Structure formats: C-alpha cells, structure tokens
C-alpha cells in the first residue's frame, strides 16, 4: 500500500525539515485516480484494517457538529493517524445535509486534509465525498466477501436505500468480482428507486432488477442485504425476516432494532467507535448491559481470529474509520503525483521563518 507524499516533495538538506508544497486535488482528479480500481482499493482498505487491528493507527472518536435549528443535518470531523511503512496523518471534514436531495444535489460533501507526519504541515487538500463513498464501498465489499466464505456465495442482493452510497457499493461489488442473478430495491423515494434501477440495469444487464413495495419482501428475497439509508433510529425489528441467514451490510448503522442484532452474528469495524452515538449496536449494549453480542471486528475475521457461523444471519456494522479515508486519500495523492498533474498552490505557507 502506497501512502504519504511523494518523497521529493519533502526533501531537505541533511538533518533539516522542509515545509512541503501544498496541493489541491479536485473531484475530477480523485475520480480518475480511483476509477476501475475496485479490487486494488479493497486491498488498500483491508491492509488498513490489518494495521488498525495491530495497533498501528490512531483513530480517536469522531466529533459531531449539530444544529438546533437543523436537527437532520450535521458535520463530522474524523482525525486519524495511519502508521505502517508510509505513515500519514490527517482529517476528514464531512457534512450530511439530507435536505440537499430535494434540490437534486448529494446529501454529503467533504474535504480531506493530509499532513506530513515529520513536520505536521498539511501537504494536500482533496475533495473527499468520492473518497468517503469509495472507502465505505470498499469496506462493504470486503465484508461481503469475507463474511460469506463459509456459506453459499450470495446471488441475490437487496439494497435498502438506493442513494449514492448504495450505487458505490454495487459498483464495488461488481468491480471486485461479484455477479448477481437478482438485484432488489427498496426506498421511500420513488425517484431514487427509479434512478438506481436505471443505473443497475445499465451496469448489470445479466441481473433481474426488482423494486419491492415492502421492506420485508426485499429482505426475504435477498441473500446479501445492504442498508444504506439516512435513518436516525431503528425501523426494522422482526428477526423472522432474516430467518434465511443472509449476510447484512448495515452500513447506515441505525436501521436494525436490537432484537435483530441479538439474533445474529455481529461483526463491527471497531468496537469502541461502533458502540456510541445511538447506533443500533449502541442501543443493543444499552438494552443488554454488555457487549457479548459483538463477536469481533473485520480485522479479526481477516486474521482468522473469529469464525462466522453459517447457521444464523451475520451483520456487519461499520462506523467508518478515519484511517480508511487517509489510506484511500493517500492512494489518490500518489496516483496524481505520479501522473505529474499535482496542482501546487505556490506560497501557501507564506511565513517560513520564525523571525520573518
């Protein structure tokens, strides 16, 4: 995994620290650096999970900025530090304004700052809504693969919520080798369902695409269920809907009632992060008074420390780790630097001497 700035960007004299040049990487360059590289990005994300599991990261709790006059909206700061062979520090600053969808623009917008671990200076600012969606989708694709290895590989996928994140997850599943006989859709918005259906029929012409009118029908018809909503509290509470033991990617974190989690094998990305902020796992902990229902992390699964039984549903609940944003953002930076197309902002750090 290549992370961090190109070495030439930080070169100084022997024993000296240099102020790195500062680059801005817009969304078009981000998209070009990531397009068609789903398998490679899944490998980057899995390598990052392994570093995190080995204690080679710093990933403090996210900070939420909420607004009394706009309760549905929020902004989140995700600081992190990624170790390993090419360390990098940084911060993702991402907003979630669900009302944007009414105006025809995406709910989320974001920037990612990458910092040089030697000097602390930022060396890049990247458009990060694409990076955030990419690391979320790559994480989901990894979990789908790893959690289905001891059961028949799912051939029927159902998307509960059909927005941008659902589209990215479908793209990453297909790009990392999945094929489906059936693609099921459920969304409260007919326009979102129609838009995703058109996308799915174009990108996966071998699959039958079905829009379901009831949540239960979608779940029962799917071996792989993807929750990608903006739900603020649980709205799916009947464990019987999952009696066929599907793999569940609980990406939006607040859809499932504790009763569903207690009837399932539960895998998270990070226990401390996931069991907070009124997520479904957090509510389950509050109900039971313990964390015994959590069977392990995805890094545990990758390392073979946790087995996933096939005789019950398995639910992957990822809170979303800032170190994943750093890893994917650093990958983008390296690709753009190698292309020779970095957009350097000259004299961004103007004061370079302590005394003028």
CA-based end-to-end distance of the chain = 39
pLDDT value for 33: 98
**Total domain count, the chain:** 2
Q: Are residues 183 and 254 in the same domain?
A: yes
* Residue 356 domain flag: no
User: Domain range holding 102?
Assistant: 7-129+322-339
CATH code of the domain covering residue 238: 3.40.50.720
Q: Are residues 145 and 282 in the same domain?
A: yes
* Residue 355 domain flag: no
* Residue 346 domain flag: no
The answer to whether 166 touches 186, Cβ cutoff 8 Å, is no
Q: Are residues 191 and 298 in the same domain?
A: yes
* Residue 349 domain flag: no
pLDDT value for 5: 44
Q: Are residues 94 and 137 in the same domain?
A: no
3-state secondary structure of 334: helix
pLDDT value for 16: 58
Interval 184-194: pLDDT, tens: 999 999 999 99
CATH code of the domain covering residue 332: 3.30.1780.10
pLDDT value for 11: 41
Neighbours of 308 (CB within 10 A): 20
Nearest to 126 by CA among 350, 319, 326, 320: 326
* Residue 262 domain flag: yes
pLDDT value for 295: 98
pLDDT value for 355: 80
Q: Are residues 70 and 207 in the same domain?
A: no
Q: Which residues in the chain show pLDDT less than 50?
A: 1-14
pLDDT value for 7: 39
Q: Are residues 122 and 144 in the same domain?
A: no
Q: Are residues 100 and 136 in the same domain?
A: no
pLDDT value for 46: 98
Nearest to 41 by CA among 324, 316, 328: 328
Q: Are residues 151 and 228 in the same domain?
A: yes
Q: How far apart are CA 327 and CA 218, in angstroms?
A: 34
How far from the centroid of its chain's Cα atoms is residue 49's Cα? 12
Q: How far apart are CA 66 and CA 76, in angstroms?
A: 9
The H-assigned helical ranges of the chain are: 27-34, 38-53, 129-147, 164-175, 190-203, 215-220, 258-262, 271-274, 280-288, 298-302, 322-339
Q: How far apart are CA 32 and CA 134, in angstroms?
A: 13
Q: Are residues 122 and 136 in the same domain?
A: no
DSSP codes of every residue in 147-163: HTTTSPPP-EEEEES-S
Conformation bin of residue 100: beta by default, left when phi > 0, alpha when psi is -120 to 50 = alpha
* Residue 179 domain flag: yes
Beta bridge partners of residue 322, listed in sequence order: none
pLDDT value for 159: 98
Q: Are residues 114 and 250 in the same domain?
A: no
């Amino acid at each position: 995994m290549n992370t961090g700035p190109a070495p030439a960007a930080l070169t100084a004299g022997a024993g000296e620290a240099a102020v790195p040049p500062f680059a801005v990487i817009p969304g078009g360059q981000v998209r070009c650096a990531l397009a068609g590289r789903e398998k490679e990005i899944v490998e980057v994300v899995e390598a990052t999970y392994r570093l995190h599991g080995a204690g080679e990261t710093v990933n403090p709790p996210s900070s939420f900025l909420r607004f009394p006059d706009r309760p549905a909206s929020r902004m989140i700061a995700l600081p992190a530090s990624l170790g390993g062979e090419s360390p990098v520090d940084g911060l993702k600053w991402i907003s979630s304004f669900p009302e944007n969808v009414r105006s025809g623009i995406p709910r989320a917008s974001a920037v990612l700052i990458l910092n040089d671990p030697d000097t602390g200076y930022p060396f890049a600012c990247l458009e990060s809504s694409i990076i955030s969606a990419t690391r979320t989708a790559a994480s989901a694709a990894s979990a789908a693969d790893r959690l289905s290895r001891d059961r028949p590989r799912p051939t029927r996928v159902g998307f509960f919520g059909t927005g941008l994140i659902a589209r990215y997850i479908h793209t990453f599943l297909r790009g990392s080798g999945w094929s489906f006989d059936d693609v099921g859709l459920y969304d409260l918005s007919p326009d979102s369902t129609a838009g995703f259906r058109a996308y799915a029929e174009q990108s996966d012409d071998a699959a039958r695409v079905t829009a379901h009118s009831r949540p239960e029908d979608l779940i029962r018809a799917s071996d792989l269920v993807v929750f990608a909503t903006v739900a603020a509290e649980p709205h799916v509470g009947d464990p019987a809907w999952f009696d066929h033991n599907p793999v569940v990617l609980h990406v939006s974190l607040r859809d499932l009632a504790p009763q569903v989690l207690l009837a399932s094998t539960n895998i998270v990305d990070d226990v401390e992060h996931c069991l907070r902020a009124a997520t479904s796992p957090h509510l389950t902990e509050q109900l039971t008074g313990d964390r015994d229902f959590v069977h392990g992390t995805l890094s545990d699964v990758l390392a073979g420390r946790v087995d996933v039984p096939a005789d019950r549903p398995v639910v992957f609940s990822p809170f979303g780790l800032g170190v994943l944003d750093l890893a994917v953002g650093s990958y983008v930076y390296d690709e753009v630097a190698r292309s020779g197309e970095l957009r350097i902002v000259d004299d961004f750090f103007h004061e370079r001497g302590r005394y003028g």
